[in-house]
Structure 1
Amino acid sequence: MKTAALSVSSEECFQPGLIPRSPRLLETLLANLDGMVYRCRADAQRTMEFVSEGCLPLTGHLPEALLLNQQLSFEQLIHEDDRELVRWHIGECLRQRRRFDVECRIVCADGSVRWVWDRGVAIYNATGEVEAVEGFMQDVTERKEAAQALQEAERRYRSIFENAIEGVFQTTPDGTYIAVNPALARIYGYRSPEDLIVSLRDIRHQLYVESERRSEFMRLMEQHGSVSNFESRVYRRDGDIIWISENARAVHDDAGTLMFYEGTVEAITERKLYEAEIRHQATHDALTGLPNRNMLHDHLQRAIQARQKGSMTVVAFVDLDQFKYINDSLGHQVGDELLKTVAQRLLSCLRDTDMVARQGGDEFVLVLQNQSGEAGIAEVMQRILAAVARPWPVGEREFHITSSIGVSRYPEDGKDVETLLKKADSAMYKAKEQGRNNFQFFAPWMDTQVSNRLDMLISLRRALDQEEFRLFYQPKLSLSNGRIIGAEALIRWQSPEQSMVAPDRFIPFAEEAGLIVPIGEWVLRTACRQNRAWQDAGLLAIPVAVNISPRQMNQSLIDFVANVLRDSGLAASWLELEITENVVMKDAEKTVATLHALKSLGLKISVDDFGTGYSSLSYLRRFPVDALKIDKSFVRDIARDADSAAIVKAVISLAHILNLRVIAEGVEDEQQHDFLRENGCDEVQGYYFGKPMSVEDFTLRLRDEAIRGAAGK
């Protein structure tokens, strides 16, 4: 095999001026080369005249397979995608009479592809023509793949660097940029990385809003060699301020010398704004923007600690008078606008060092620092009362909303936040009792009143559980014949401690404690059962009226009423629901639908306290109501006040035009009775005809009525 592979002439073993060498020596030398030595003719096929033994390890082919193109030619050995390039390159080198040097791929006997480095020279004859080509082909696959891997890594790094969403940078320790990517240029508002590097030459002063952040950056680098989540405010090129977060490390050479800093930058302005919004929401009221209860406590605590010697820290508890009336009659949207207006008015009365917070509902708390005496405090309170009471326009109408204020002082009235707030609250309730639209300083005796209020709420819960409530019934009479034609169920509280308690003393507390709904449901169930009991006893069948609270209108009232009628066995025609005018107009569209659903059950509906609120005639015409009840405040003065008399006449006329019954409540004397009868009022109720009676007394009244009716027949 070796003889065939060498197949050289004697001339090839001797060269002029060299010591003659034996073919055996040349064979050994070529065999030890890591690659393939070859000689080929200068024909189109590059016909091989000599191939060394390195052919087998390089290509997987025996040398004789290529010799004289016995099995494949040199051209066939070259990968088909590289043949044209190799042919062109070697041809150019031969024409220019210089060595060739080319890298290409070959296809080995097993089908694998390897990279080779092919280099050689042309052999010329005596006439200067190319006689042959001699060359050496060496496997460079590992080097080539390593180079390609490096190029790919560089390409990927460059792609990451260029296309990263985060900014990437390198800076010198003295604060100039060496390299930045496009993302960082965009974050900082520059046209390109080059523009940023040229323009931003002093990071400390040009970039950081607070220049000391650069000092902190350097300190952390010196101490830890890196920074993580380093948040700062920085300037963009246009002067806007944004938030960024940096992660960076110090880069040293082999000798440990600091060369530069490198890292990434993330724009976090939106996150910081969101975090600030979350913090604001946690400490401020969403409606008014004022500090909320949490922030109030923190601020008051700091105000106590910062009090100057000889001065007072003042807490003022402000509660709007009759805010519930506005909310119920005009709706929550109007009520919200009122709260925002009041918040601004309170702010206008205070200094920068003072605070106003919204405690909740229609309650506000003011914290006044370093007050010298009660005279100065009183002056501020009067200013607040006047500011709140300024006219407040709503559409074409104008309201005058007043407030009641309770004042406590540190250190005189309390030494901690909770005590000061509690005592200011107590003083505020005293201001309410004094007629509203005033302020009161806390006094020790007020604690007893607060205790009484709390006792009342506790007792109300007990009263509901232990069935201490009672229903009294006041008769309604026809003005045409004086006969009883109905009754109104009125709640009383049979308290073990206080005997009989009137509703005006405990209903407001029930509203405040959220007990008015279960109490109202008890009234409706009890009244329906009692009316059915009277009918079962053979007494006069009359409708019984029950008042519905505003909060009940927000419950599943329709289903509840239907269930009560079914459970009691009372026909719906013997039940009348009384709903105040303000509740009816609170959400007119919704109320129309609710009233129609109630009316479909077969019961009667009347509008209570008519004339005290406001009603649109267009809505009143659409409401499926049966009667209007004239408020007792108008009935009381009809005999001596022309305006009240005119209003009552107008209501009677309006009701009859709309085919509604008219009921006058609070009739207490003969003059009122005569006026109402003369002006066509249909029904009356009041002390002149009978006070609210217990079940036993009203039962006797019904029996007397039955006897009187029988005698009349």
Structure 2
Amino acid sequence: MICKAFSFDGALVYEADQAHDFNLMERHLLHEFPLCETFAINSIDPEFRSHMAKSVVTSIDKKEDNTTGERQLLETLSATHVTAFSVVDENARIFGLIVFLKTGSGKALLDEDHKRISVLLAMLGRYIGVRVYQNKISFAKNSLESILDNTGIDIYVNDFHTHKVLWVNKSMAAPYGGPSAFLGKVCWQVLFPGQDGPCEFCPQKNLLDEDGNPSKVYIWDYQRPFDGSWFRVFSAAFRWVDGRLAHVVSSADITDNKRNEELIEYLANFDSLTGLPNRRKLINDCTILIDHIQNRGNGYLLFFDLDGFKAINDNYGHDSGDEFLIQLGEFFLGIPMLKNRMYRHGGDEFVALINGSVMKDNIRSLVNFIHERFKKPWPLKKGNVFCNTSVGVACYPEDGNTSEELIRKADHAMYEIKKKGGAGICFYEEIEAFDSPANNPVLLQKS
């Protein structure tokens, strides 16, 4: 109606995007002519932009003496006349533009026409301005949700007190049936069907300060029960759009990280050849064992050193030596008394930790059983080999209160057996009883 009443060739609505470019969103043309689909607002003279933002309705005719900015707008729109209404925000920034234009040499507008158009555009501008602003908000909302849906992080928000889900992103909702399965429902009913109350591990108590206000982000790890996946979870309290207190939960899948951590942990604590725990884990486990049995029992540390292992390497090669060590580790693990208690200390040295209601006679019986096996050949790919082992034993708490002290004394006792020909067992206390270092220069040097 406005185009026909005032002989305009067309009417256009431009909306600004996040890059401050104006994009043609709506059009009404009385006849076809070239259109400017998009243009950068910053390409227009800044002084003229300020004028448009303040004047609201702007009228420009090519026949008149125009400013730089006015000429730029006419050239951009390929028009001979432009009447425009600017949609501005609270900071006087233009985010919408309603344009009526002429492209030919039609009759000029009268002053009375300008007044009527200004009144009409003021009314039309308020209507379209609201729509443009809603589009801007919708665009921002959709952009934000798109970002949140594609970050690789699962997110949901629930009411802090009722626990009803207020919002959820697609990646979080996908395994449970989509957003509709979450929204308006209590979080634990969706995540843990059949559960009738808040999760025991829910960190909400850590999200508020003593005055009941949101505090810092709380970080924790969680394993999903139905598929075993691991997540690094970030929880925080904040105010929702309506002012209520809400709880946002975001999580990143760290299953691969956990597996890598487990692999690193395994490599740090287990011998790559035999698969037995290594010296590092021995020290840690022995310390834990001492703390556990302190004042409530005793424990034994058995130090095994092979007799004649060098000959296997020399005669058959190091591959055969490795083959023998693997076979020996499997033999040790097959003994019930040593299962989950055997360690490779390094080279051809092994250590066992034994605690509980075990007597020294039980330890001697165990070592005798082991020596009986060593009397038989060990079958390898290149032939049968014979070997034996010397065993030193340190007792807790009699011989020491630390893992290093017990290892050192068990090693000392094992060395005594080596001096006497090997293939035997010696408790550390037996050294001090009949072969004190003060009276034995060899032991004194070893100590």
Aligned match of 1:364 in 350, 353, 356?
350
Query: CA separation of 1:165/1:321 partners in 2, compared to 1, >3 Å: closer, same or farther?
Result: same
Q: Tell me if structure 2 keeps the 8 A contact 1:208–1:234.
A: no
Question: SS of 2:231's equivalent?
Answer: strand
Question: SS of 1:277's equivalent?
Answer: helix
- Kindly indicate whether residue 206 of structure 2 is the aligned counterpart of residue 217 of structure 1: no
Residues 668-679 of structure 1 mapped to structure 2, 5 A cutoff: none
Q: Tell me if structure 2 keeps the 8 A contact 1:327–1:334.
A: yes
Write the deviation string for residues 29-59 of structure 1: whole angstroms up to 9, x where unpaired.
xxxxxxxxxx98xxxx9474xxxxxxxxxxx
Residues 536-551 of structure 1 mapped to structure 2, 5 A cutoff: none
Shift of 1:206: 1.4
**Counterpart position of 1:427:** 413
Question: What amino acid does structure 1 have at the position aligned with 2:28?
Answer: L
Q: Tell me if structure 2 keeps the 8 A contact 1:354–1:368.
A: no
CA–CA distance in structure 1, aligned partners of residues 263 and 333 of structure 2:
22
Question: SS of 1:285's equivalent?
Answer: coil
CA–CA distance in structure 1, aligned partners of residues 202 and 302 of structure 2:
45
Shift of 1:252: 3.6
Question: What amino acid does structure 2 have at the position aligned with 1:232?
Answer: Y
- Kindly indicate whether residue 201 of structure 2 is the aligned counterpart of residue 267 of structure 1: no
Question: What amino acid does structure 2 have at the position aligned with 1:184?
Answer: M
Shift of 1:438: 2.1
CA–CA distance in structure 1, aligned partners of residues 203 and 194 of structure 2:
11
- Kindly indicate whether residue 233 of structure 2 is the aligned counterpart of residue 230 of structure 1: no
Q: Tell me if structure 2 keeps the 8 A contact 1:185–1:196.
A: yes
RMSD: 4.2
Shift of 1:387: 4.4
Question: What amino acid does structure 2 have at the position aligned with 1:290?
Answer: L
Aligned match of 2:121 in 138, 151, 174?
138
CA–CA distance in structure 2, aligned partners of residues 200 and 326 of structure 1:
68
- Kindly indicate whether residue 442 of structure 2 is the aligned counterpart of residue 452 of structure 1: yes
Q: Tell me if structure 1 keeps the 8 A contact 2:312–2:385.
A: no
CA–CA distance in structure 2, aligned partners of residues 152 and 82 of structure 1:
13
Aligned match of 1:116 in 95, 98, 113?
98
Aligned match of 1:159 in 143, 146, 165?
146
In terms of Rg, which structure is larger? 1
Aligned match of 1:75 in 9, 13, 31?
9
**Counterpart position of 2:325:** 339
- Kindly indicate whether residue 359 of structure 2 is the aligned counterpart of residue 373 of structure 1: yes
Which segments of 5 or more consecutive residues in structure 2 lack a partner in the other structure? 15-23, 32-56, 62-69, 78-83, 85-96, 101-115
Question: What amino acid does structure 1 have at the position aligned with 2:172?
Answer: L
Shift of 1:220: 1.5
**Counterpart position of 2:46:** none
**Counterpart position of 2:278:** 292
| Higher relative contact order (Cα pairs below 8 Å, separated by 6+ residues) | 2
Aligned match of 2:28 in 85, 94, 115?
85
Shift of 1:354: 6.8
Shift of 1:261: 2.2
CA–CA distance in structure 1, aligned partners of residues 26 and 295 of structure 2:
99
CA–CA distance in structure 2, aligned partners of residues 195 and 138 of structure 1:
46
Q: Percent identity?
A: 23
**Counterpart position of 1:185:** 173
Question: SS of 1:138's equivalent?
Answer: helix
Question: SS of 1:385's equivalent?
Answer: helix
Residues 245-644 of structure 1 mapped to structure 2, 5 A cutoff: 245-252=232-239, 257-258=244-245, 260-307=246-293, 311-351=297-337, 355-387=341-373, 391-395=377-381, 397-442=383-428, 443-444=431-432, 445=435, 447=437, 452=442, 455=445
CA–CA distance in structure 1, aligned partners of residues 365 and 180 of structure 2:
65
Residues 664-703 of structure 1 mapped to structure 2, 5 A cutoff: none
TM-score (norm 2): 0.65
Question: What amino acid does structure 1 have at the position aligned with 2:341?
Answer: M
Shift of 1:207: 8.1
Write the deviation string for residues 435-480 of structure 1: whole angstroms up to 9, x where unpaired.
33222223122646996378599xxxxxxxxxxxxxxxxxxxxxxx
Question: SS of 2:120's equivalent?
Answer: strand
Q: Tell me if structure 2 keeps the 8 A contact 1:323–1:362.
A: yes
CA–CA distance in structure 2, aligned partners of residues 352 and 176 of structure 1:
53
Q: Tell me if structure 1 keeps the 8 A contact 2:207–2:218.
A: no
**Counterpart position of 1:565:** none
CA–CA distance in structure 2, aligned partners of residues 422 and 82 of structure 1:
83
Query: CA separation of 1:108/1:150 partners in 2, compared to 1, >3 Å: closer, same or farther?
Result: farther
Query: CA separation of 1:218/1:150 partners in 2, compared to 1, >3 Å: closer, same or farther?
Result: same
Q: Tell me if structure 2 keeps the 8 A contact 1:78–1:106.
A: no
Query: CA separation of 1:324/1:446 partners in 2, compared to 1, >3 Å: closer, same or farther?
Result: farther
Query: CA separation of 1:271/1:83 partners in 2, compared to 1, >3 Å: closer, same or farther?
Result: closer
Query: CA separation of 1:418/1:193 partners in 2, compared to 1, >3 Å: closer, same or farther?
Result: same
CA–CA distance in structure 2, aligned partners of residues 284 and 390 of structure 1:
28
Question: What amino acid does structure 2 have at the position aligned with 1:322?
Answer: G
CA–CA distance in structure 2, aligned partners of residues 352 and 212 of structure 1:
44
Shift of 1:340: 2.1
CA–CA distance in structure 2, aligned partners of residues 268 and 193 of structure 1:
23
Count of aligned pairs: 353
**Counterpart position of 1:242:** 229
Q: Tell me if structure 1 keeps the 8 A contact 2:376–2:386.
A: yes
Shift of 1:360: 0.8
Write the deviation string for residues 681-712 of structure 1: whole angstroms up to 9, x where unpaired.
xxxxxxxxxxxxxxxxxxxxxxxxxxxxxxxx
CA–CA distance in structure 2, aligned partners of residues 180 and 83 of structure 1:
33
Shift of 1:166: 1.0
CA–CA distance in structure 2, aligned partners of residues 78 and 370 of structure 1:
88
